Chains A and B, each alone.
Chain A
């Protein structure tokens, strides 16, 4: 029957036609084989509260993900809901697991650098830095001053890139479809162009080497960074004017997912999430790795530890990164970019172990290497901030609605490449 010839449906039938029941054909009882018995649900201890027995309310188990747009990659949450409230939430990860550590143990020290790009694919340069810092620590290599400045510049640009995109994703999760994320991606495009000019690649930069960097700056690159740094505060002002006092953002984020400082410290939460809870701990200040001791910058701290503080901390950190960039550009030294004594190929550090860590945009990114004197590490371990920060996801979400759980997950800032490794 053609669509034109069909009689118009009455308005009450336009929606939920199947719910009336009379359109569902009865199954023929005789020739339909009985369905095979379903295996027991493997979910541990399905909660049976007093609600279910009284018959007043029922618990509903929902599996959010792994292909849900709000889970930021292939991530799943086993959520148990009472009404709309979350009463239990178990993160399930591993969908992107490729045993990065095992591959790192079978590869030479140099060969692992491009692979670290794929951990947190938004921030490949900081991943490189954490890894080469650990190798330098393990082997006692020195880094020339110019290379240290290049590292600070690129790491802070990476931080801008990460935070600007995170805020775009976060408000996207709250329902601000499109505009803020497009603004963020406009800035990201400028940064990726800078990375491409420097390293030849937009996302998988593979740029740092033990004892320095792979190649020197292309002509005009510093001027490009200078232009970006001059323009960036105007974008930040615009972004803050657009979002900070937005009623929906305030209503969806204030008082949601409060993380107490005690729990944050005990659970090893790091990065902007920790500082939003008011704990003053920034590896750039504590370890002063690289040349971070030379720059004046402040560590913004939150007061309430809720989603709004986590949003605001990222904006404030971008202002501080901008300050560091300005200072680094003013004092940019000339000189070599690679320690001439650093041996990249056939590199065999003495037996022993080292743990190195940096303040990556998402938190403390650590590498733990054990050398047994061979060309590849005996043990290669990545301590990724996204993974550890997920530990307290259930504590943050309990008692909030499922819609809030999505926003809380957005404010934790995870990248599955790093969680699953």
Chain B
């Protein structure tokens, strides 16, 4: 498959307004991915599918990733006056990286037999603005998988034809695949509780006098 640099050049020529960044992958496969802004995601996806050199007609995998808010420690070189002389000093700066949710798409081409290209969309935060664009209009295979990401991560796919929970039941309230998900205590009633379950059961069914 074509290298990401030349792909990006052609993408910017075709869609000048699209904001696309490259996210490097430090592991052995070194499969870098494209981070696309949700506002232009559908246009970029359509270009990736229809471009004659790429023809990424097959969206194999759609999944979500939850990135919590974290502090990143960065080494910065600053010029400081040390002992009366100005010097370049290395300092570590703590930076807060806001948390966000990510939808990751793995694209292949069945027509040309190459791939994968990894496409990512990021939400603005994890709490109230968890919207990305649905790519189901481009690749039908995203239909159930985006529903699953919505179900387990709470990413809202704008433009999805039928965005409902798929694995959890409809009345379920939380998003279990998030990193900060806490399982409710009274998840299941056990008639003969013991050990940890007994501790939970005592908390929730005090009237029954469990001993």
Contacts and interface: CB of A to CB of B under 8 A. Distances in A.
B109 to A, nearest CB: 10
A217 interface: no
B106 A366 contact: yes
Interface stretch (B1-9, B22-30, B39-47, B89-97): B22-30
A370 interface: yes
B166 to A, nearest CB: 6
A97 B167 contact: yes
Given A137-B29, A352-B26, A383-B60, A97 B144 contact: no
A134 B30 CA distance: 13
A392 B106 contact: no
Contacts of B60: 268, 357, 364, 366, 383
Interface string B102-133: 00101000100100101000000000000000
* Interface bin, chain A: 35 or more
B27 A381 contact: no
Residue among B143, B144, B162 facing the most chain A CB atoms (10 A cut-off):
B144
A143 to B, nearest CB: 14
Contacts of A350: 26-28
A226 interface: no
B58 A265 contact: yes
A239 interface: no
Interface of B is mostly: loop
B8 to A, nearest CB: 20
Contacts of B29: 137-138, 352-354
Nearest to A44: B164
Contacts of B61: 355, 366, 368, 381, 383
Nearest to A101: B177
Interface string B57-74: 111110101000000000
A140 B166 CA distance: 35
B180 to A, nearest CB: 12
A2 interface: no
A200 interface: no
Contacts of B58: 265, 268, 281
Contacts of A378: 65
Contact of B144 (A352, A354, A388): A388
Contacts of B27: 138-139, 349-354, 371
A42 B113 CA distance: 43
A392 B28 contact: no
Contacts of A387: 144-145, 148
B31 interface: yes
Interface in A303-360: 349-355, 357
Contacts of A392: 140
A140 B29 CA distance: 8
B140 A97 contact: no
A140 B28 contact: yes
A279 B110 contact: yes
A267 B164 contact: no
B176 interface: yes
Contacts of A390: 144
A266 B140 contact: yes
A352 B116 CA distance: 16
A102 interface: yes
A4 interface: no
Contacts of A351: 26-27
A379 B120 CA distance: 15
A281 B145 CA distance: 21
Interface of B: 25-31, 57-61, 63, 65, 104, 106, 110, 113, 116, 118, 139-145, 148, 152, 162, 164-170, 176-177
Q: Which 8 pairs show the lowest CB-CB distances between chains A and B?
A: A352-B27, A268-B141, A140-B28, A94-B167, A383-B61, A267-B140, A97-B167, A381-B63
Interface of A: 42, 44, 93-94, 97, 99, 101-102, 137-140, 263, 265-269, 279, 281, 286, 349-355, 357, 364, 366, 368, 370-371, 378-379, 381, 383, 387-388, 390-392, 420-421
Given A349-B27, A354-B27, A383-B106, 17 more contacts: A93-B166, A93-B167, A94-B168, A102-B176, A139-B27, A140-B28, A281-B113, A350-B28, A351-B27, A354-B31, A368-B63, A371-B27, A378-B65, A383-B60, A383-B63, A387-B148, A392-B140
14 contacts: A42-B170, A94-B169, A97-B168, A266-B139, A268-B139, A351-B27, A352-B28, A353-B27, A354-B27, A370-B65, A371-B27, A388-B141, A391-B141, A420-B167
